[in-house]
Amino acid sequence: MEKVTELTGTLRKAKMKDAERIQFLINEYAKQGLMLPRSINSVYEHIRDFWVYEENGEVLGTCALTVFWNDLAEVRSLAVDPGHLRRGIGTALVKKALDEAKEFGINRVFTLTYQVKFFEKLGFRIIDKNSLPHKIWRDCINCVKFPNCDETAMIINVKIGA
């Protein structure tokens, strides 16, 4: 059972000053083979995609929403400080990204993940990776696991205007 405590921090769009902490959180999981590493340059280039959860002046979690097409976006780079897991930070970040997708008028949001149960609890369902457009694989070609990706593709349809 997931323990969730009330979050006392702030969910906000990332700022330039957050880039190094975002990269650190992502790369801690990348070292374990749980996500792709991000260069600091990549984080800066995509800083507008990122949301962060900040508590007492420290960024404890991050998540990005990357738009691929007029009706398709990806939740990616979800990383929570290991000392603050199971508090609802990841859930809050993903929900914020889904809210942003609704604001943009994007009704389909996918993720590639090893955390299937987590995303199922949020309403995502498993899909065949091959059903996703080839355009989404642009980052995958640099992955050490390409072309034998073992992540699970999942998708959620968000209700626009809900």
Residue pLDDT, tens place only, 122-131: 999 999 887 7
Can you count the helices (H) and strands (E) in the chain? 4, 7
Evaluate whether residue 15 is within a structural domain. Answer: yes
162, part of any domain: no
Structural domains of the chain, count: 1
Chain CA centroid to CA 146, Å: 20
- Transcribe 24-78 into DSSP letters: HHHHHHHTTTSS----HHHHHHTGGGEEEEEETTEEEEEEEEEEEETTEEEEEEE
Here the CATH number for the domain that contains residue 55 is 3.40.630.30
Instruction: For residue 2, name the pLDDT band (cuts at 50, 70, 90).
Output: very low
Residue 121 lies in a domain: yes
| Residue 2 within a domain | no
pLDDT digits (tens, 9 = 90+) for 39-62: 999 999 999 999 999 999 999 999
Long-range contacts of 99-102 (CB under 8 A, 24+ apart): 100/51, 100/65, 101/65, 101/73, 101/158, 102/158, 102/159, 102/160, 102/161, 102/162
Residue 1, in any domain of the structure: no
Residue 83 lies in a domain: yes
Asked whether residue 4 is domain-assigned, the answer is no
Whether 3 maps to a domain, the answer reads: no
Cα dihedral sign for 62, 9, 13, 129? positive
Question: For residues 84, 116, 128 and 146, what is the CA-based torsion angle, rounded to 10 degrees?
Answer: 50
Q: Which of 110, 87, 113 is nearest to 158 (CA)?
A: 110
From the CB of residue 159, how many other CB atoms can be counted at a distance below 10 Å? 8
Q: Which structural domain range is residue 107 located in?
A: 10-157
Q: How far is CA 150 from the centre of its chain?
A: 17
In tens, the pLDDT along 66-99 reads: 998 888 999 999 999 999 998 999 999 999 999 9
Could you tell me the pTM of the whole model? 0.87
